[in-house]
Amino acid sequence: MDKDEFAARTEAVKQRLYRTAYLYLGSEADALEAVDEAVYQALRALKKLREPDFFETWLTRIVLNECHRELRRRKRLAGEEALPDTAGPDSYDALPLREAVRRLPEDLRLVVILRFFAGYTQAETAAALNIPQGTAATRQRRALQLLRLELGEEERL
């Protein structure tokens, strides 16, 4: 893959990457910075990409790593995550849902963000997280159960 193809394929998934980073970090500025840094890191490591067919999964993994790095930095600086000041994607903007998703364990939170808010399929989610598809399905079920309990909707099941 050359740099022109890299640029074209990155541009095609840029919105999806940004949405994933925003939902994970909760801040427009941090999400933009994470995506920019991830694209830069991916361009530097482009020769390491063995399968161009998995470009989007590879780039998503780099974005998630940048998000993890940012969250670790926040914990060092503040000790706690702050709520974002800006509005984001409509489906995630409801405060109780945002709070409930943030309280999920990290492995479950990642699956929920990728599956339901970033629009990844279950197979793409599993590939992006480097886990078996069955594990992604199990984490998704557990996360949804916890969210239903958290939001007081357990009677609907």
Predicted pLDDT at 157: 41
Domain boundaries, the chain: 1-86, 89-157
Residue 78 scores a pLDDT above 90: no
Quote the distance between the C-alpha of residue 25 and its chain's center: 8
CATH classification for the domain delimited by 89-157, as one of 3.20.20.70, 3.40.640.10, 1.10.10.10, 3.40.50.150: 1.10.10.10
Question: How many other CB atoms are found less than 10 A from the CB of residue 10?
Answer: 18
* Residues 91-110: tens digit of each pLDDT: 444 567 778 888 889 889 88
Residues in the chain: 157
Single pTM value for the model: 0.62
